[in-house]
């Protein structure tokens, strides 16, 4: 083997290309199938052989799904945008502040506290502590409110970890010392030096946090009531309600539930891939 190219990458063999094509088809197929069923009439899901091309019924199905009274899909979509948006904003602020402190400020107990963050990153304590959380929400009269599904998810160790790595990489110590010489306070340094420098990291964190919260299911299911759901709870309701086998309508609901994610992914997919890969290497 005589390779002089600076890159060590082999070019892909035909077999590799075929395998990748299969992987790609498998990755896209269930989503394509969702579109096929969502755009046809109710009988489509029980046809043998199954239909393979989209139909022309999408508009009707969308109107039917949104108008369905028992699942409150439209409310669910709106709630999820509010909840995921709020959590994302708060997590970005909390994580960039703490990430900056762990990366570039010196204080007693820094290492110990960072270890705590790393440990909390591993276990979803909110899900283990679901019973007391629910009891607390009942006490506070917060059942069926948005703060009940927002607050527990502000605890996000991964965000701090990610922002710390970005800050270490993007904000050299000299920059901070120079700002201190100019008499800047720590808060001012955060605003004027750190935040602009870690913007790419913030973008990645924001996208991942939004997607993750869009998908939260167990806790909203427990603490919200069917009239005020998040999107995941609403499409579960759609599949539960009297149209048990009306797959074109159910699939339309699932399709609507992923539209915001697909839009985000289409717009920022490159950054998400890049951010995930960068985060992985640093981990």
CA distance 161 to 204: 13
Q: What is the largest CA-CA distance in the chain?
A: 75
Cβ nearer to another protein, comparing 49 with 56: 49
Closest approach of Cβ 145 to another protein, in Å?
15
Closest approach of Cβ 17 to another protein, in Å?
7
Cβ nearer to another protein, comparing 152 with 201: 152
Burial of 92 by CB count in 10 Å (0-12 exposed, 13-18 middle, 19+ buried)? buried
Closest approach of Cβ 59 to another protein, in Å?
20
Closest approach of Cβ 122 to another protein, in Å?
6
Closest approach of Cβ 130 to another protein, in Å?
7
Cβ nearer to another protein, comparing 1 with 53: 1
CA distance 276 to 13: 27
CA distance 40 to 37: 5
- Cβ-based neighbours of 98, under 8 Å, separated by 6 or more: 117, 160, 163, 164
CA distance 215 to 210: 9
Cβ nearer to another protein, comparing 127 with 192: 127
Helix (H), strand (E) at residue 103: helix 73-104
Cβ nearer to another protein, comparing 67 with 178: 178
């Amino acid at each position: 083997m005589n390779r002089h190219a600076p890159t060590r990458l082999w070019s892909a063999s035909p077999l590799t290309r075929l395998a990748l094509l299969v992987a790609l088809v498998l990755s896209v197929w269930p989503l394509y199938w969702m579109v096929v069923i969502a755009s046809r009439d109710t009988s489509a899901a029980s046809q043998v052989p199954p239909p393979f091309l989209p139909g022309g019924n999408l508009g009707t199905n969308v109107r039917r799904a949104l108008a369905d009274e028992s699942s409150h899909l439209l409310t669910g979509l709106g709630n999820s945008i509010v909840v995921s948006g709020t959590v994302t904003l708060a997590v970005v602020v909390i994580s960039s502040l703490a990430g900056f402190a762990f990366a570039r400020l010196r204080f007693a107990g820094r290492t110990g506290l960072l270890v705590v963050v790393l440990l909390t990153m591993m276990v979803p304590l909110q899900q283990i502590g679901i019973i007391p959380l629910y009891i607390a929400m009942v006490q506070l009269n917060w059942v069926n409110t948005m703060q009940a599904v927002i607050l527990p998810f502000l605890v996000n160790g991964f965000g701090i970890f990610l922002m710390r790595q970005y800050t270490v990489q993007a904000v050299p110590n000299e920059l901070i010392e120079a700002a201190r010489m100019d008499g800047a306070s720590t808060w001012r340094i955060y605003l004027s030096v750190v935040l602009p420098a870690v913007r790419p990291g913030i973008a990645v964190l924001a996208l991942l946090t939004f997607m993750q919260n869009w998908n939260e299911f167990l806790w909203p299911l427990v603490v919200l009531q069917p009239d005020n759901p998040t999107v995941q709870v609403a499409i579960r309701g759609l599949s539960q309600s009297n149209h048990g086998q009306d797959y074109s309508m159910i699939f339309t609901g699932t399709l609507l539930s992923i539209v915001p994610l697909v839009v985000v992914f289409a717009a920022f997919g490159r950054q998400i891939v890049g951010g995930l890969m960068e985060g992985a290497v640093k981990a």
